Chain A
């Protein structure tokens, strides 16, 4: 166990525990705030993968943007914030079917994991990921970049239009 592994398992634990919190918590607000730790843990995993730019973007976009939006959405619909989330129609049939399909998928994944001969290619260590990302966005993925920009512009104009109509 070196430092890298310890840190990896720490972040993996954070992600798994908080993701379980998102799924299993009975209160909407707890689920929304658990998501904070999930996003944070994933950002940490990105750092361990040497993807510093993606990690910071993860914090910026998911924690600084999407999570705040989610929390606001939950907060403003205050009728539901304290509501206990329960699904009323779960019966034996659903449990059995869900259990069987879960076992099948899990078994398939485990078999695949054990049978595939995993190869880890040595990756050349990058000084900085920002520059290659920028160059790729301006050359190879230029179209996708522009389409995303136009999509965001449309969303922006649409939001302004909706907000203006009183």
Chain B
């Protein structure tokens, strides 16, 4: 297997490990700033206004201003809150969000930790975010927080099932849980991506409807996992103030916020890896050098993040019963059908 290029440059030592941890973190910080700006600007354009215009050229420095504002804010801990858990929750939440980046394949020679079970790992580590939400919601000792946390957990647990089925189908199609292996199989042009049935002969056209609907199921489930509109019931402002992070301020709130953006990227990245060919160039071997691969991977994921933001400012919020209906009665059976069809196909091809 191809080595991580950092091992070739710095050897198998402390420097390499430190860089392996730092590079994704720095990437995450920069990405979060860009995503905040994107959120502000896209929201404004959707609503036919200009958005932030005064900080820097066309307001591009707005996210920096927001971060500085959050850093300066007073860190309030409510008197009746459970202090140790209240302080711990943002870190647990962020651990879950950042943990996924350990197995994120940015290019064919750069993945922080090359795991044989990478797909499963990224899916599983999200559990920390769920725990973080419960911890924050319960420790705040506020009924809105508790309601938000309970809604968040029930939503995330129910939407894990269609996503798990989608991931299972991809594992069956690729015959592997190794992210690099899954991506390798999707090489050679965009018609070999799993969204179009993966590699195969002409008859893969039969399986395309199933992979396409799995892609949609996975994306919708991803929206619910990250608590984005139309699934932002855990933070529904009109009902429960701000949900599980009602009582948080300053840097701790920023960490929740940050974890949400990191989760958005993680979900988009998994979809990009499973269905859109990960770091593979859409044009086969053309423009498929490592640096370009990182570019393709990040732009595919960022495009999906853009769609999430776009949807957020377009759709209204679902009701709780509609939410459960969509998950259990629509997405789960559909995902089962797709899974069986794809499993049969991957045995026959």
Residues of A participating in the B interface, judged by any CB pair closer than 8 Å: 29-30, 33, 36, 52-53, 56-57, 59-60, 63-64, 67-68, 71-72, 75, 127-130
Residue on A with the closest CB to B160? A64
Question: Which of B125-133, B189-197, B212-220 lines the interface with chain A?
Answer: B125-133
- Cross-chain contact A75 with B117 (CB below 8 angstroms): no
B residues in contact with A59, CB < 8 Å: 121, 124-125, 127
> How many angstroms between the C-alpha atoms of A52 and B121 in the bound complex?
9
Residue on A with the closest CB to B127? A64
B108 within 8 A of A: no
- Cross-chain contact B82 with A130 (CB below 8 angstroms): no
User: Known contacts A36-B131, A68-B157; is A29 also within 8 Å of B85 by CB?
Assistant: yes
> How many angstroms between the C-alpha atoms of A33 and B115 in the bound complex?
28
A residues in contact with B157, CB < 8 Å: 68
- A134 CB, min distance to chain B CBs, angstroms: 10
B residues in contact with A130, CB < 8 Å: 116-117, 177
- Cross-chain contact B92 with A128 (CB below 8 angstroms): no
B135 within 8 A of A: yes
Identify which of residues 105-149 in chain B touch chain A, using a CB-to-CB cut-off of 8 Å. 115-117, 120-121, 123-128, 130-131, 134-135, 138, 146
A residues in contact with B153, CB < 8 Å: 68, 72
> How many angstroms between the C-alpha atoms of A130 and B179 in the bound complex?
14
- Cross-chain contact B135 with A60 (CB below 8 angstroms): no
- B316 CB, min distance to chain A CBs, angstroms: 28
Residue on B with the closest CB to A67? B131
Can you identify 26 A-B contacts, CB atoms within 8 angstroms?
A30-B85, A33-B135, A36-B131, A52-B116, A52-B117, A53-B116, A53-B117, A56-B117, A56-B121, A57-B124, A59-B121, A59-B125, A60-B120, A60-B123, A63-B127, A63-B131, A64-B127, A67-B127, A68-B130, A68-B134, A68-B153, A72-B134, A72-B153, A127-B116, A128-B117, A130-B117
Q: 9 additional contacts, CB 8 Å, given A29-B85, A57-B120, A64-B126?
A: A30-B84, A52-B115, A53-B116, A53-B117, A64-B130, A71-B131, A72-B150, A75-B150, A130-B177
Name the prevailing secondary structure of the A interface residues: helix
A residues in contact with B128, CB < 8 Å: 63
> How many angstroms between the C-alpha atoms of A30 and B86 in the bound complex?
12
A residues in contact with B127, CB < 8 Å: 59-60, 63-64, 67-68
A residues in contact with B232, CB < 8 Å: none
Residue on A with the closest CB to B154? A72
A residues in contact with B135, CB < 8 Å: 33
**Per-residue 0/1 for B141-171: is the Cβ within 8 Å of any A Cβ (1 yes, 0 no)?**
0000010001001000100100000000000
Residue on B with the closest CB to A69? B157
User: Known contacts A53-B117, A63-B131; is A128 also within 8 Å of B178 by CB?
Assistant: yes
A-B CB proximity, top 8 nearest: A64-B127, A60-B124, A128-B116, A63-B127, A59-B124, A56-B120, A56-B121, A56-B124
A residues in contact with B125, CB < 8 Å: 59
- B120 CB, min distance to chain A CBs, angstroms: 5
- Cross-chain contact A71 with B120 (CB below 8 angstroms): no
B residues in contact with A127, CB < 8 Å: 116
